[in-house]
Amino acid sequence: MKYALVTGGSRGIGRAVCIKLAAMHYSVLINYKRNGDAAQETLDIIRRQGGTAELLPFDVANETEVEQVISQWQERNPEDYISVLVNNAGIRKDNLMFWLSSEDWKGVMETNLNGTFYITRALLKYMMNRKFGRVINMVSVSGINGMAGQTNYSASKAGIIGLTKSLALETAKKNVTVNAVAPGFIQTDMTGDLNEAELKKLIPSGRFGKAEEVADLVAFLASERAGYITGQVITISGGL
């Protein structure tokens, strides 16, 4: 059995990625922080479609919890390893820097950037030992171009882009690829409070993207066919 871990798999893009990877015959570990009902729904969808998955709740920002959950999973599955990691869990707490609290700065950094580091480090040694792995980091066009009101979020995503490029250089010889996917506006809970009618006027393709469209790109990067792509940031934004 091949295993894939998707952080933030309970909702939105993460859920679509879980469903897609299960259809590719991965046994999917669905991570989430607090929304157990939504995570269970992801699991139910996968099972109804004949796939295999299990819930693996933990807070990506909690270093000790990350280490514990991964070593316990590894003890339960000594013959196996997690060959695909999708670092998708993320939050935004927008404000102009003028009013941005240190708490909201740190909160976004801890989940988005530190969380990516903790879980990737925990799984990397297994991928390197087995000489195959795929790490796909969910970033954002905000981390490439910047976005007013998102200095914390943009900085966290730009940090992940740096991590992606450097780590790809460390792991390429072991057949472990590391790439980032940078969505524009995608219809999920995260963008539910935005004025879609106004914002879509800025998007060349004239609409928000769907979580399933992002999942298709992630699925390709996770596949063996994408073995010669590493250290890249691929934007999926309708031309934004």
Q: Which residues are catalytic?
A: 153
Query: What's 22's DSSP letter?
Result: H
For residue 59, state whether it binds ligand NAP (rule: CB under 6 A): yes
For residue 138, state whether it binds ligand NAP (rule: CB under 6 A): yes
Which of 51, 83, 108, 111 lies at the binding interface for ligand NAP (CB under 6 A)? 111
Which of 2, 23, 35, 117 lies at the binding interface for ligand NAP (CB under 6 A)? 35
Q: Which amino acid is at 181?
A: V
Give the interface segment with ligand NAP, choosing from 48-56, 83-91, 93-101, 199-207 (CB under 6 A): 83-91
* Residues whose CB falls within 8 Å of the CB of residue 149, separated by 6 or more in sequence, listed in order: 94, 95, 96
Q: DSSP per residue over 123-171, as a string?
A: HHHHHHHHT-EEEEEE--THHHH--TT-HHHHHHHHHHHHHHHHHHHHH
Residue with Cβ nearer ligand NAP (56 or 169): 56
Which of 18, 91, 123, 233 lies at the binding interface for ligand NAP (CB under 6 A)? 91
Rg over CA atoms, the chain: 17
Can you name the residues that pair with 85 across neighbouring β-strands?
5, 135
# residues near ligand NAP by CB under 6 A: 31
Interface ranges with ligand NAP (CB under 6 A): 7-8, 10-14, 31-35, 38, 59-61, 88-91, 111, 115, 138, 140, 183, 185-186, 188-191
